[in-house]
Amino acid sequence: MELDLWWLLLFPAFFGLGWFAARVDMRTVLKQAKSVPTGYYRGLDALVEDKTDIAAQALAEVARQQTSTPELQHTLGKLYRKRGENDRAIRLHQRMLESPDLPSELRDAVRNELAQDFRKAGLVDRAEEILVQLLSGNMALAARRQLLDIYQQDRDWKKAIETARELRSDAHSFQHEVAQFYCELAQAELHRSNLAEARQLVGEAFASNRKCVRASLILGDIEFAEGNVPAAIAAWQGIEKQNFEYLAMAAERLFDAYEKLGKPLEGIALLRGYQQTFPQLELTDLLYQKIATYEGETRALEAVREAVHARPSLSGVYRLIESQMDELSPEGRMDAEVARALLFKHAQRLSVHRCKCCNFRSRAFFWHCPACGEWESFTANRSES
């Protein structure tokens, strides 16, 4: 019994030892924390608060005091660039590269940063020069991505195709992009009336992405230019199977082709069929004009009414009011005029293509978003939501 009590006395001793160990650890942590300059914390705090000017000032001060911290200088350079202080970022990265103390494993990363500084400052040639040299090192992937951006910006589609193919991975096949680059080349050849070259390039676009709608549009244009009207119609109709949302882009071309064959009513029937099957397509205005020309105002009005009832749209209602203005009394016409003007204003504001990636909105359609640089991200039809 006495022996058991003696063992109990050991418990407070263990607690004491634990407390002592914890105290020793805390002292080490505090000592290390005190060795980090306060400017570093001030810089971090300012960054969190989004006060990049104060952050840059504080971190620059720390970097001056502690010249042996290339990682901090690396971050500081990025901060300068983010703030648009491109000259300072360039000078800092150049100084780092001149320093014999820069660890070799950081050298390529700093050169990659310097290339970004040059790009941001508009000195794209100098950026490209550095990036090409980085293609064999440990920053090859980042360098290649930057080069792909540069080639797209410069509209150097051949180099863009080459680079995108080298970047191909399981995560990103670049098939859509490469097809679009070929379409850019094909479009340029078509403008110069080099139809054989354009046809060959469209073939390459299909080889990269057989669902490339833009390639079908261009192929139809080539066939039409060569006088192969039925082949042009077949190419444009093929869009229905690729992605029907883009059919409205081929609608006017299709009608013109049928008109050229002397079969405008067949063209109208085709477009009306599309409108009934896919009410989200913007065909109302075009159909109204063509039906009014070939079948008269009454049939045109019927078609608009049918479309508006299937899927109400501001532009459709606008067209409905407009076509019935003549039948109204003078007072009724004044009221209708107000409603029509209001509808027009809202339809103008709301009928826009929208980038599904960055939400950029535009009346004009782009295959390549001018805001975020994504391909095929624009909605094919102008939504009114």
Residue whose CB is less far from Zn ion, 96 or 148: 148
| Three-state DSSP class for residue 262 | coil
Q: Which residues pair with 375 in a beta bridge?
A: 368
Interface residue with Zn ion among 110, 369, 375, 380 (CB under 5 A) is 369
- Pick 225 or 372: Cβ nearer Zn ion: 372
**In the bound complex, what is the minimum distance in angstroms from residue 366's beta carbon to Zn ion?**
9
Contact between 202 and 232 under an 8 Å Cβ cutoff? The reply is no
Output the DSSP codes for 12-65.
HHHHHHHHHHHHHHHHHHHHHHHHS-HHHHHHHHHHHTT-HHHHHHHHHHHHHH
Q: In the complex, what is the shortest distance from the CB of residue 355 to Zn ion, in angstroms, rounded to a whole number?
A: 3
Cβ proximity to Zn ion, 308 vs 369, nearer residue: 369
Contact map string, positions 191 to 210, toward Zn ion, x by CB under 5 A? --------------------
Here's the x/- map for Zn ion, 347-366, by CB under 5 A: it reads as: --------x-xx-x------
**Min separation Cβ 383 and Zn ion, Å:** 15
Site string for Zn ion, 299-338 (x = CB under 5 A): ----------------------------------------
Reference 147, options 138, 137, 161; nearest CA is 161
Two structure tokens written together for 12: 């407070």
Minimum CB distance to Zn ion smaller for 176 or for 333: 176
Q: Which residues contact 93 (CB under 8 A, 6 or more apart)?
A: 77, 110, 111, 113, 114, 117
Between 1 and 364, CB nearer to Zn ion: 364
Q: Which of 371, 379, 383, 384 binds Zn ion (CB under 5 A)?
A: 371
Token pair of 38, please?
Answer: 């306060």
Q: Give me the least distance between CB of 368 and Zn ion, in Å please.
A: 9
How far is residue 374 CA from its own chain's centroid? 3
The residue ranges that bind Zn ion (CB under 5 A) are 355, 357-358, 360, 369, 371-372
